[in-house]
Amino acid sequence: MAVGRTAGDERRGQVIDLPETYWYKAKLRLLGPPMVNEQLNTERLSKPLALGVLSCDGISSAAYGTEEMLIVLVGAVGLAAFNLIIPMTLVVLFGIVVVVLSYREVVSVYTRAGGSYVVARENFGPRVAQIAAVALLIDYVVTVAVQTAAGSAAIVSAFPSLGNLPLVGSHILTVISVAAILLMCYGNLRGIREAGKTFALPTYLFSASVGLMIIVGLFREVAGGLPVVHHYANVGPTFAFGHSTEGLLSFAMILMLLKAFANGGSSLTGIEAVSNAVSALRPPEGRNARQILVTQGTIVIFLIGGISWLAHVSHATPYVDGYPTVLAQEADVVFGSGGHIMFYLVQLATAAILFTGGNTSFSGFPFLASFVAEDSFLPRWLTKRGHRLVFSNGIIILTVVSLTLGLAVGFNVDGLVPFYAIGVFTGFSMAGFGMVRYHLRTREPGWQRKLTINLVGGGYTVLVVIIFAIVKFTEGAWLVVILGPVLVFALIRLNREYRSEAQVLENIGERRASGVGVNQPNYSRRAVIVFVDDFDLSTIAALRYAKSLRPTSLRAVHLVIDNEQAEKLRAAWLPDRYVTLEFIDTPDRRLTRAAAELVAKETDVPGTQVTAILPRRSFSPLLGRLLHDRTADKIAGVVSRIPNAAATIVPFDVQNRVGVLQEHNAARLAAVTESPDPGTQVADELQRDVPEPLPGAGGYDRPAPSLGADPIGSLRRPGRVVVEGRVRVVEIRPVEHNTVLAVEISDSTGDLTAMFYGRSKIPGLMCGGKVRLRGQVGIKNGGPVMVNPAYELLVPGSSGDEE
């Protein structure tokens, strides 16, 4: 890192060169340079683009919905399954219509992002809303596993020979799925944006290619030329055909039909994605979202209905290994031996939309997790954006959990479906019944019709949840049925902890404001105790810091647990330069307890406040925790619980000091061996008036001044100037019955402080933004200062505001 110095730096001290950590250097190589807040994408989506981006998850479910129903029907009734698939599909399509109509009412009212979670929170309260939160979080996790498994099956269906590869042949779906998930994780950590044409293309390509397959298939059927699918060579077996002779009204048949319906319900997944991103649409958001929902629902109905009809005609049968898929078999018979280009196009489009649908969870899950964390029901570190302005923690959690689920169950769509739809339909139910509550509360025009729609939608989806929980319980749904309530309880319990902490802090604030119940900070005696383990630079640094506090009494204490070590310390101590060192016997070697007793005894003196200073040596981050026991942290934790006592850790970076010492010695040696050049000295003197670039100059944190602006580093005398820079610090300072807003801005040459008297806030003037200032500049404490300058906001997307 290059370090420059300005005239102000000469007076205020040298700019510190902080070396980057190995972890940060690795992050830069893997993820690229960091992005800044102003680079957050705020572009709104047009309807065609939004349909492609937001509908990929819902439309992609058509690729496996029919196959999931056939898996149950074929195993129960054999060839009769190809007749039952039509009525079963009609029941599923009715569900799609109901859900689409229900969510049309949701997006009409709630035009902010959040979907069913926001609906449940606004109408049932934050605690009940955690049912929707848990359901959606589970849905996002399983979506990644299901979509990547289905996409992998589409790839292997196009190239069945992949299943015969040595070593990985029998696990080819798992290998492809794991690679796809890791690639999605890496891409999202780099900050890929879904609001682009690239992510909309698979939706249109899949809809067009499969739609063409259905039309060609129907035409060939009418012409009498659509053949029946024959068994594929060199692939695994199909699901065994059942031979049930039970009547349609028998218990066994009803259970079978319910299982088939539950599997087919997976076709409804993803419809809610539009409601989760309404705020990303162009105005009017509500109307555009309704139109997109209807269009998406129409496409899904056409595709699922067409795929089921072709299965009815061609007798495409699911395979145990998951490939070739029913959709691939239909494409093969529809386009025939002369149309294999279209066959590969269908498989390419299917894999693309399935992987893209899985990738939507990598934006949905972290965003929802941050949303719930803002409500204090999840850890707050999930609200922080990472290196590339994405919620990195949420992305990593989603990757780990989805990989764990896929590897435990196997990346097979049929094995993952039992985990899938319970979460999805629970979210549907919460949204539907939440809107029922909304209509009953507001009674807006036409509320009775809307209430009926949402009541039917909520009832239908909750019925599906019950069916899934019963018929799929032994196949894996039991885990979701048990895990869901446990997670809801955990989120509520976490929120209780956050609320307790907030209540304590608020009470302290109220007491301080009223002057009641808070110990006043005006102590008559301030005692400082420095705990000494060894006599070295870290101890000297701690002692210097302790003296800077100007305490009433200062003690240096060594807790003796090793007499030999104590004698060495006694011999090395320099009492003439430092305070006298006390040795306190600790026979039971309980350092934390001995330190706490010593501090507590000191606080017994009335009017005494005690500060414990603990030098801590910081070593390599990789080996430091392994090689050292963090005694300072343990003592600080105990001392901090003692009334009228505080603990301060003074870190000393040993590894960095070693490097600095080596560089210092090398520079000293070079200065001795090289004689100074008078010409170079003169050039250096002349160059002092030229502002040198500071660390980060010209980058995102220190922009170069534009034409017409004065470099801040060149401001060394009063005068009228125009400066530009990025806001680094905004601070409100009290001054004589008033306030002043102090704003520090920086460019590539230096820093400047602007003082706005009588102001506590300027709209748009915030950290990270760019601003142009005009007015008189003065020099104070070695740095340029402007008082009440005219300002112009330069943040992209904001209007200029000039005074």
**pTM here?**
0.74
Summarised one tens digit per residue, pLDDT across range 362-382 is 888 888 888 888 888 888 888
Quick one: 710 and 640 in the same domain? Answer: no
Lowest model confidence (mean pLDDT) among 210-214, 253-257, 425-429 = 253-257
If one counts the domains in the chain, the total is 3
Beta-strand pair 719-735/770-780:
antiparallel
Tokens 């290196």, residue?
A: 387
- What band does 664 get if pLDDT is binned at 50, 70 and 90? low
Residue 12 confidence (pLDDT): 41
Average pLDDT (248-254) is: 65
CATH of the domain at 255: 1.20.1740.10
User: 728 and 746 in contact (C-beta within 8 Å)?
Assistant: yes
Percent of the chain scored above 90 by pLDDT? 15
pLDDT(628) > 60 = no
Quick one: 237 and 301 in the same domain? Answer: yes
Residue 15 confidence (pLDDT): 45
pLDDT(330) > 80 = yes
Assigned domain for 22 exists? no
Single residue among 494, 513, 537 that ends a domain in this structure: 494
Average pLDDT (477-497) is: 87
The residue among 371 and 732 whose pLDDT is bigger is 371
Assigned domain for 35 exists? no
- Using alpha carbons only, give the angle 795, 801, 803 rounded to the nearest 5 degrees: 140
Helix axes 326-335, 285-314, angle to 10 degrees: 70
Closest CA to 789 of 769, 774, 771: 774
440, two tokens? 């009953």
- What band does 762 get if pLDDT is binned at 50, 70 and 90? confident
Single residue among 444, 479, 494 that ends a domain in this structure: 494
Average pLDDT (737-755) is: 87
- 3-class state of residue 28 by DSSP: helix
In whole angstroms, what is the distance from residue 538 CA to residue 544 CA?
Answer: 10
Quick one: 422 and 571 in the same domain? Answer: no
User: 17 and 3 in contact (C-beta within 8 Å)?
Assistant: yes
Quick one: 534 and 455 in the same domain? Answer: no
CATH of the domain at 542: 3.40.50
Quick one: 205 and 349 in the same domain? Answer: yes
pLDDT(794) > 70 = yes
Closest CA to 525 of 600, 579, 602, 638: 602
Summarised one tens digit per residue, pLDDT across range 93-125 is 988 898 888 888 888 888 776 678 888 888 888
The residue among 775 and 41 whose pLDDT is bigger is 775
- What band does 11 get if pLDDT is binned at 50, 70 and 90? very low
In whole angstroms, what is the distance from residue 532 CA to residue 534 CA?
Answer: 6
User: 251 and 454 in contact (C-beta within 8 Å)?
Assistant: no
- What band does 670 get if pLDDT is binned at 50, 70 and 90? low
Quick one: 766 and 647 in the same domain? Answer: no
Kindly calculate the radius of gyration of the chain based on its CA atoms and give it in whole angstroms: 34
Lowest model confidence (mean pLDDT) among 362-366, 578-582, 734-738 = 734-738
Written as one string, the DSSP assignment of 66-98 is: HHHHHHHHHHHHGGGHHHHHHHHHHHHHHHHHH
Summarised one tens digit per residue, pLDDT across range 586-615 is 877 788 888 988 998 888 888 888 999 988
User: 318 and 326 in contact (C-beta within 8 Å)?
Assistant: yes
Assigned domain for 136 exists? yes
- The stretches of 265-316 forming alpha helices (DSSP H) are 285-314
Burial environment of residue 469 by CB neighbours within 10 A (0 to 12, 13 to 18, 19 or more): middle
Quick one: 643 and 705 in the same domain? Answer: no
Residue 298 confidence (pLDDT): 92
pLDDT(302) > 90 = yes
Provide the sign of the torsion angle of the four alpha carbons 367, 65, 328, 232, taken in this order.
positive
451 contacts: CB under 8 Å, gap ≥ 6: 435, 436, 439, 440
Assigned domain for 89 exists? yes
Quick one: 341 and 421 in the same domain? Answer: yes
Average pLDDT (37-64) is: 76
* Separation of CA 764 from chain center: 26
Summarised one tens digit per residue, pLDDT across range 165-175 is 777 767 888 99
Tokens 């596993």, residue?
A: 145
Assigned domain for 230 exists? yes
Residue 544 confidence (pLDDT): 87
Assigned domain for 520 exists? no
Beta-strand pair 790-793/783-787:
unpaired
Residue 350 confidence (pLDDT): 92
The residue among 169 and 384 whose pLDDT is bigger is 384
Assigned domain for 571 exists? yes
User: 584 and 598 in contact (C-beta within 8 Å)?
Assistant: yes
Phi, psi values for residue 653, rounded to 5° = -80, 100
- What band does 784 get if pLDDT is binned at 50, 70 and 90? very high
Single residue among 657, 680, 709 that ends a domain in this structure: 657
Percent of the chain scored above 70 by pLDDT? 79
Q: Return the top range by mean pLDDT from 412-416, 493-497, 576-580, 618-622.
A: 493-497
366 contacts: CB under 8 Å, gap ≥ 6: 382, 390, 391, 392, 393, 394, 395, 398
Burial environment of residue 433 by CB neighbours within 10 A (0 to 12, 13 to 18, 19 or more): buried
Residue 690 confidence (pLDDT): 44
User: 694 and 750 in contact (C-beta within 8 Å)?
Assistant: yes
Residue 352 confidence (pLDDT): 92
Quick one: 226 and 284 in the same domain? Answer: yes
Residue 626 confidence (pLDDT): 53
Quick one: 488 and 530 in the same domain? Answer: no
Summarised one tens digit per residue, pLDDT across range 514-558 is 444 445 456 778 899 999 888 887 888 888 888 888 888 898 999
In whole angstroms, what is the distance from residue 570 CA to residue 575 CA?
Answer: 10
Summarised one tens digit per residue, pLDDT across range 202-214 is 889 999 999 999 9
Burial environment of residue 492 by CB neighbours within 10 A (0 to 12, 13 to 18, 19 or more): middle
Lowest model confidence (mean pLDDT) among 82-86, 248-252, 284-288, 556-560 = 248-252
The answer to whether the peptide bond before residue 284 is cis (omega within 30 degrees of 0) is yes
Quick one: 765 and 628 in the same domain? Answer: no
Assigned domain for 517 exists? no
CATH of the domain at 719: 2.40.50.140
Residue 319 confidence (pLDDT): 86
The answer to whether the peptide bond before residue 324 is cis (omega within 30 degrees of 0) is yes
- What band does 679 get if pLDDT is binned at 50, 70 and 90? very low
State which residues form the domain around 420.
43-494
Residue 383 confidence (pLDDT): 83
- What band does 384 get if pLDDT is binned at 50, 70 and 90? confident
80, two tokens? 């009769």
What integer best gives the mean pLDDT of the chain?
A: 79
Quick one: 283 and 325 in the same domain? Answer: yes
